[in-house]
Structure 1
């Protein structure tokens, strides 16, 4: 679990609500159904218009990474690669067949199978690079769905504000209608800006960071597998791969 995401979300909520309280406001003043509908509905509609279905579905799939990110153990990956290289030196590349069959990581399994099949290093690089670059692009595009929402949200908030003011101007003769219209106007703006800067844009940036870290892990696996294919010394492989560590 990503504790920083939880702390950040709670701190953002406390900062907004706490600041509102210290200024003499109350929570009810920030709760407005029409404003929420305008901002959330409008932002979601704009993102649906922009994103292809497969990209939007991927965005929903990776959204839980904010609090439950995939485990990316770079040091563990290096240790596995070194153990594979030691096995290859003792038993030959065919000795890795049992390892490939039991490997749970699909990317690593494909690389090991290529080694077992005797593929040339350039062929291995070509095949595995396509895999990890495609996956990286797919996840980055999915993260950009939240980034685009963060761009639309403040503008939709302004639309809500203008709609509220139009309502106000149309009811100047009826003072009882003014309060609701003004509330929608200002609260919609708050929702739009707050959702963008406290939720959507941070989510997008964190998802991008996770996607890039996954790509670094896969690139490290690729370099390790190529080194095994070229018969490099396990110690040399370990020293090379240490460069991928944070």
Structure 2
């Protein structure tokens, strides 16, 4: 690769579109600083979009139990307005209580776990993209492989299956 320069990267198949974007920019002759700046901006935008999405689900999760309680209160008001029919009290009470259950279930089984999943996904994806940014920056600056290993090692510590530089193969 070093003998042919950055153009040697043009022949490799890359499955990650973020990585592919950076490599394509290097091969096309963009300044490594501009490549880094562009990729960092893409990473920042990813984080902002995901935080917005997670915030929507977190808001739903925060509000759902309150709407469930409102439904319960409305159901209880309807039940109490019909006290002349004792047979209708039990079913009306059950329906009124179900709204609380639905609110809690929407919050705790759907909305809040979805928000947590989005936040976890974006954290992992952003971390991976920062690793790619460092790798592409090193390629753009034509660092030798030993320097690249040293720069990328902090991102790979604790990753299963990845041998650290200097470990026995």
Within 5 Å, give how 1:59-208 maps onto structure 2.
87=1, 89-99=2-12, 102-208=13-119
Aligned-partner Cα distance in 1 for 2:120–2:152: 20
Q: Mind listing any 5+ residue stretches in structure 2 that lack a counterpart?
A: 159-169
Q: Can you list the C-alpha shifts for 1:132-178, whole angstroms capped at 9, x where unaligned?
A: 21122212222222212101210110111011101111101111221
Count of residue pairs the alignment pairs up: 157
Unaligned runs of 5+ in 1: 1-86
**Are the equivalent residues in 2 in contact too, given 1:143–1:205 (CA < 8 A)?**
yes
Identify the residue that residue 227 of structure 1 maps to in structure 2: 138
Q: Confirm or deny that 1:240 pairs with 2:151.
A: yes
Post-superposition offset of 1:240 = 2.0
Corresponding residue SS for 2:3: helix
Q: Distance in 2 between matches of 1:227 and 1:162?
A: 62
Does the 8 Å CA contact 1:157/1:190 hold for their aligned counterparts?
Answer: yes
* 1-structure distance, mates of 2:73, 2:8: 70
Please tell me whether the aligned partners of residues 164 and 183 of structure 1 are also in contact (alpha carbons under 8 angstroms): no
* Equivalent position of 1:209 in the other structure: 120
- CA distance in 2 between counterparts of 1:177 and 1:158 reads 21
Contact 1:160/1:184 (<8 A) preserved: no
Alignment RMSD, CA only? Answer: 1.6
Q: In 2, Cα distance between the equivalents of 1:185 and 1:240?
A: 60
Q: CA deviation at 1:110?
A: 1.2
Alpha-carbon distance in 1 for matches of 2:140, 2:108: 47
For normalisation by structure 1, the TM-score amounts to 0.60
Shift, 1:118, TM fit: 2.3
